[in-house]
Structure 1
């Protein structure tokens, strides 16, 4: 049985840890509110932009779409993995790694490992995929000051690589925010462009008439790069909100577990203390009886 000093030390250690997890839960909750507001505002914009783009590209000339819409034989792939910069968020980051590994096994198992490149957004992804080989770009601190301009650099790097023929496909893997307790792993193709297959969206788009100025082709050439950047930015915002939700949930569970452990340790402490007191009483009584017998 552990000594009273050891049990007291463990109680102090667990109490200190519980205070830290409580503070981290409160910080995550405050950040989650802002991140959730950002992604809720972004979703309608991204959806509407995709709807407009779907309508414009339906009858556009093939030359207009050739830069980003031409499907090629898949020989080289870029996988954009979006994680967090820090841990202590439960299975948030490991789920992305599992999603990437599952993607490679299902779609790119026939490709040599050297033909699969990685772009890591978030320090955890950079550390994980950096062990496999060179990582495209350095986006380890995107979430320190998250903005569209920061993410735009990553999107342009992927787009330039696709146009130059370095990659035949560009795929994103990230956590989509559903609620505080639920994050869904999403695998989405960024390049080449995927036509919207939602019947409701296509019907709504086809019923809209636009006035083009200066020309339809020029507008499409401008909208396509913007849409791709918005798609990646939306994925990063989804991941950011998911991270804070996952961390809030993880810290809440950690706080509860610390509370249960404290109850067990305090019970152990009281039992140990009672046993020590009983032992001291028995020693005193035994000594008194021995003294009385010697007289």
Structure 2
């Protein structure tokens, strides 16, 4: 059934309202992306410096007994999954959740072999609807988080590992490549040392540097902070990726609305022409009938 002119005009008006909303969301996301990129870039020097310090102390300290360093038999894996609190971000959430499902299907036979630490409402609701084991979940974090916003979560996550709640921690999140490109990354956080590196660390020569109070005390403080910084850094990347994904999704939605409005206006003009032609035909037919 051919739609009437009123119906077509109503669809045009509705689409134009949607376009205004998506265009506004695009501009908001673009603004947030700029701040997220700045935060991410500002954190990189700190992350690199603390990594350098940790590696230096670990290589110079012969007795590597800190629980964060020591690899152990992996009986249970924790996945730290970062999603968003809101949708309308294209494949941002779905590609992370799909990657997690692939890892679980490939590695684990039962739900007792893994657990999940979740950031974001989209991930939390997804896991809850599928009865997946969640050790801890956090939602409603700010768009531009400070380290203090994640401090409790990162501290608890490291402590869970130390206490033996799980034997390996991996992050699944969107790595920020550029404003138009984000890729899912799986990054092992804990333990900090791989099994293959243990023998090498044991044979590493001690440096001639002196540590105050001593290497053990420094590592006890620094190693958890390093692990927490890895989590926080990945979260900053995820936030930048989220804003970029939402910006691109809203820009595409705005472009699609433009195309739809053009098609509807063309349809409206054709229908209007057909109506005018029909009206003229009826007038001419009526005039000819009167002449007869």
Q: Which residue of 2 is the match for residue 122 of structure 1?
A: 120
Equivalent position SS for 2:137: coil
Equivalent position SS for 2:135: coil
CA distance change for structure 1 residues 119 and 212 in 2, over 3 Å: closer, same or farther? same
Q: Which residue of 1 is the match for residue 251 of structure 2?
A: 252
Equivalent position SS for 2:170: strand
> How big is the shift at 1:55?
1.6
Q: Deviations over 1:190-223 (max 9, x none)?
A: 111136x9xxxx9xxx9x9754211111111111
Q: Which residue of 2 is the match for residue 98 of structure 1?
A: 98
Q: Which residue of 2 is the match for residue 22 of structure 1?
A: 23
Structure 2, unmatched stretches of 5+, are none
Q: Which residue of 2 is the match for residue 218 of structure 1?
A: 217
CA distance change for structure 1 residues 133 and 101 in 2, over 3 Å: closer, same or farther? closer
Q: Deviations over 1:213-268 (max 9, x none)?
A: 11111111111010011111101100001100111111111111111111110000
Contact 2:108 2:114 in 1 (8 A): no
TM-score normalised to the size of structure 1?
0.90
Contact 2:92 2:245 in 1 (8 A): yes
Alignment of 1:286 with 2:280, yes or no, is no
Distance 1:63 1:180 in 2: 41
Equivalent position SS for 2:161: helix
Alignment of 1:142 with 2:141, yes or no, is yes
Contact 1:64 1:220 in 2 (8 A): no
Aligned pair count?
A: 284
Alignment of 1:45 with 2:46, yes or no, is yes
> How big is the shift at 1:85?
0.7
Question: 4+ residue runs of structure 1 moved beyond 6 angstroms?
Answer: none
Equivalent position SS for 2:21: helix
Contact 1:85 1:143 in 2 (8 A): no
Farther-moved stretch of structure 1 (213-222 vs 96-105): 96-105
Distance 2:162 2:39 in 1: 31
Equivalent position SS for 1:136: strand
> How is 1:232-243 mapped onto 2 (pairs within 5 angstroms)?
232-243=231-242
Contact 1:143 1:240 in 2 (8 A): no
Contact 1:155 1:232 in 2 (8 A): yes
For the aligned residue pairs, the C-alpha RMSD in angstroms reads: 2.3
Contact 2:68 2:191 in 1 (8 A): yes
> How big is the shift at 1:60?
2.6
> How big is the shift at 1:115?
2.5
Q: Deviations over 1:17-52 (max 9, x none)?
A: 111111001100111111100000111211221122
Contact 2:5 2:271 in 1 (8 A): yes
Contact 1:84 1:123 in 2 (8 A): yes
Equivalent position SS for 2:268: helix
Equivalent position SS for 2:112: helix
> How big is the shift at 1:145?
6.4
CA distance change for structure 1 residues 238 and 209 in 2, over 3 Å: closer, same or farther? farther
Distance 1:29 1:285 in 2: 58
TM-score normalised to the size of structure 2?
0.91
CA distance change for structure 1 residues 213 and 222 in 2, over 3 Å: closer, same or farther? same
Q: Which residue of 2 is the match for residue 35 of structure 1?
A: 36
Distance 2:148 2:208 in 1: 32
Farther-moved stretch of structure 1 (147-156 vs 21-30): 147-156
Farther-moved stretch of structure 1 (135-144 vs 164-173): 135-144
Distance 1:285 1:209 in 2: 107
